[in-house]
Each structure stands twice: as C-alpha cells, then as structure tokens.
Amino acid sequence: MAKVKRIMIHCTDEPDNVKRNRAYWEHWFFKVKCWKHFGYHAVVYQDGKWEELQPMPDPISDSGIITNATMANGCKGANSDSIHIAYIGGIDHVTKRRGDTRTVEQKKTLAALVGWLSEAYGIKEVIGHRDWPGVTKTCPNFDAKKTYSYVGSR
C-alpha cells in the first residue's frame, strides 16, 4: 500500500435525478459487482450532502497510507494511492446525454472536500477518472484537472 498521492473525481454515470443512499451502494458494490470494497471513498448527493462509503486513512495516525481496510475500487491501477470521490449524476435525465450535471451544491461540496483532503494529505494532484492512462470513459464529464488546478499550486 502507499501514501495518498491524488484525489480522483468520478461521476456515478447515471441520471442526475436518481436518489441513492448507503444501502443502495452496499447492494451495488458488494452484491451486484461482488467487490470487496466500495468503488468510492465518498459520494456527493444532489443537495450537496456527502457520505463516506469506504473509510479514508487517517492522515496522522495512519500517516495517510491506504491499506486494505481503506482502499476503494475507483480505478484499476490507482486504488492503492488515491482517494476516490463521486458525484451522483453524469447523465442529464432529460436529454439522456452524458455531461457535467453537478448541481451548485455538489460543486460547492466537491470543492470543499478537495480543499480539505488536499490539505490533510498534502495532495498535489486532482484528476478525473478519464485522466488515468488507458481509461476510455468520460467520467466525471468535466475537466477535474482544470477545475481543481489550484491544488498543486499552494
């Protein structure tokens, strides 16, 4: 395992008006996908509230090192050193097209989480799932590197 190096932003790649809760994510990741870990450390709901799914390593007592107990299955090759955060949406429920469907509240919460986590872990890089080598998805359907480019310049 390794020290947290980056935050990877995701969308759930579903209509922006779906309602989800922890029970849904437990079913989806553990029963449907048969994974041993949640796919995200945290999800941000349309109203801006967020929920931790997979525990994050403590930046002090764990030295920010991701272990089996704190790893999320967000992106193959980036799970041992990344914090994965997703917003609910990514598909416009009216047009059925992929796009940046973040609400104002989701944008505020994502920015706050990125700020808090980058400071807590000393993170210098925030990327979208689509930015990882070999990924062909459009997730998170906006340019996370550009949106959070201020993280590496502090």
pLDDT tens digits for range 101-134? 999 999 999 999 999 999 999 999 999 999 999 9
Domain carrying residue 99: 6-153
Beta strands in 4-135 (DSSP E): 6-11, 14-15, 42-44, 50-52, 82-87, 90-91, 125-128
105: CATH? 3.40.80.10
Distance CA 105, CA 112 (A): 11
Residue type for position 9: I
Residue 78 lies in a domain: yes
pLDDT of residue 153: 65
- What burial class does residue 3 get, using C-beta atoms within 10 Å of its C-beta: 0-12 exposed, 13-18 middle, 19+ buried? middle
Residue 1 lies in a domain: no
Residue 41 lies in a domain: yes
Residue 11 lies in a domain: yes
Number of domains the chain is built from: 1
Residue 148 lies in a domain: yes
Q: Are the CB atoms for 90 and 130 separated by under 8 Å?
A: no
Residue 3 predicted with pLDDT over 70: yes
pTM of the model: 0.96
Instruction: pLDDT band for 14, please (50, 70, 90 cuts).
Output: very high
pLDDT of residue 1: 75
Q: Which secondary-structure segment (H or E) carries 23?
A: helix 22-26
pLDDT of residue 140: 98
Residue 26 lies in a domain: yes
Tens digits of residue pLDDT in 19-74: 999 999 999 999 999 999 999 999 999 999 999 999 999 998 888 899 999 999 99
